[in-house]
């Protein structure tokens, strides 16, 4: 009898055990779904930029799937500059602030990884999608400048340049842009001359890339030391008289990369139309060029070029005299990876 009672109690306990854990599992599953939804809805910031002549910042915030652009001064509450309300998968990127921080430009739609490809259509819209450069004026008014990407303000903030495939567009801020140039290829890495008289850019033609210079007043273009390699990352000197860039030569598939050097730093003098090699890395580690996303060459006020180099096996920021004399010195410690870097504007571009 005692055995029978004990067996019945065991069955009852087993039955209770088989019921309550299932309920608990369902509750845990619902709680997990709620937690995942809450986690996915948390705000996430990307595309942080700052104005060059003002303490103002802007960034893209994704909250509950909805993307908007916010801005704030160094001290103050962030303010929404766009007011999208739908989680429609439309990307906001390419954020740029005018030098005084009062005007914002950004790209709506498209894919920053493939900016000149057909824009994604996340909602399967029958009318398709577009990739447009938009601006938010100081008054808060928003307008579409045109189709393209890579918005870049002139040094005085009055003119906006952007590209679409091989076309260059220019316009006074707040006006519809006009195409001023069109060439085969894709324009990238645009930068204004310090006086706003010209734009330097990379022209990607697949098998090779070139450095181009667009003269605003004469509406003419010239190539800087054209070759059949991969030229990239053009940057003006602070006085606007020279342009530095990286030149790469991709080795053949059967070439042993440890026995060669496949990139070099160049400076092109705009007055004499000549270029010189600043520095070529030795063969071995660091002989192939690599750069952190969003970074590039920087030209300091003390006539030095800052560049990324993996000579020790770690990504470091190094500096070398733009004249081509001397050897590079690395500014960041070894055994640590640099993911981004900028020059300080408040210290005469002598701190990174």
CATH level 2 (architecture), domain 183-352: 6 Propeller (2.120)
Higher pLDDT, 6 or 83: 83
Q: How confident is the model at residue 1 (pLDDT cuts 50, 70, 90)?
A: very low
Two domains, one topology: 42-164 and 183-352: yes
pLDDT at 13 over 70: no
Hey, what CATH topology would domain 42-164 get? Neuraminidase (2.120.10)
How much is the mean pLDDT over the chain?
Answer: 88
Distances in Å between the Cα of 235 and the Cα atoms of 102, 146, 242 are 25, 26, 8
Cα–Cα dist 86/63, whole Å? 11
Q: What one-character DSSP code corresponds to residue 282? A: P
Residues whose CB is less than 8 angstroms from the CB of residue 266 and which lie 6 or more positions away in sequence, other chains included: 225, 231, 244, 245, 246, 247, 275, 276, 277, 278
What's the confidence (pLDDT) of residue 346?
A: 59
Q: Average pLDDT, stretch 231-252?
A: 92
Q: What percent of the chain has pLDDT over 90?
A: 67
Output the pLDDT for position 29.
76
Q: Is the pLDDT of residue 282 over 80?
A: yes
Residue 295 confidence (pLDDT): 86
Q: Where are the domains of the chain?
A: 42-164, 183-352
Q: pLDDT (tens digit, 9 = 90+) per residue, 67-121?
A: 999 999 988 899 999 999 999 889 999 999 999 999 999 999 999 999 999 898 8
**pLDDT of 6 above 70:** no
**pTM of the full structure:** 0.84
Contacts of 17 (CB under 8 A, 6+ apart): none
First-residue to last-residue Cα distance in the chain: 86
Q: Which residue is associated with the tokens 């309300």?
A: 85
């Amino acid at each position: 009898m005692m055995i029978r009672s004990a067996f019945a109690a065991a069955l009852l306990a087993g039955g209770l055990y088989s019921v309550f854990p299932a309920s608990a599992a369902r509750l845990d599953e619902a709680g997990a779904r709620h937690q995942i939804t809450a986690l996915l809805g948390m705000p996430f910031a990307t595309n942080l930029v700052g104005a060059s002549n003002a303490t103002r910042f802007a960034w893209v915030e994704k909250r509950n799937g909805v993307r908007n652009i916010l801005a704030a001064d160094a001290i103050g509450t962030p303010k929404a500059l766009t007011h999208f309300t739908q989680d429609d998968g439309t990307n906001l990127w390419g954020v740029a602030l005018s030098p005084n921080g009062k005007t914002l430009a950004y790209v709506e739609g498209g894919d920053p990884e493939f900016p000149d490809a057909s824009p994604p259509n996340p909602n399967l819209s029958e009318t398709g999608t577009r990739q447009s450069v938009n601006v938010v004026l100081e008054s808060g008014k928003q307008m579409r400048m045109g189709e393209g990407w890579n918005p870049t303000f002139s040094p005085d903030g009055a003119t906006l340049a952007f590209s679409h495939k091989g076309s260059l567009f220019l316009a006074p801020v707040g006006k519809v842009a006009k195409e001023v140039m069109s060439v085969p290829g894709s324009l990238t890495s645009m930068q204004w001359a310090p006086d706003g008289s010209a734009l330097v850019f990379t022209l990607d033609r697949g098998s090779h890339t070139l450095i181009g210079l667009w003269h605003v007043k004469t509406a003419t273009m010239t190539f800087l030391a054209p070759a059949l390699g991969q030229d990239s990352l053009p940057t003006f000197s602070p006085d606007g008289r020279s342009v530095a860039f990286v030149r790469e030569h991709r080795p053949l598939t059967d070439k042993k990369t440890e026995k060669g050097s496949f990139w070099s730093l160049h400076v092109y003098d705009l007055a004499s139309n000549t270029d010189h090699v600043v520095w070529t890395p030795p063969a071995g580690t660091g002989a192939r060029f690599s750069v952190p996303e969003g970074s590039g060459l920087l030209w300091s006020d003390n006539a030095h070029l800052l560049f990324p180099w993996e000579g020790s096996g770690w990504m470091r920021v190094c500096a070398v005299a733009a004249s081509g004399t001397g050897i590079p010195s690395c500014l960041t410690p070894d055994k640590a990876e640099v993911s981004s870097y900028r020059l300080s504007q408040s210290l005469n571009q002598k701190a990174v």
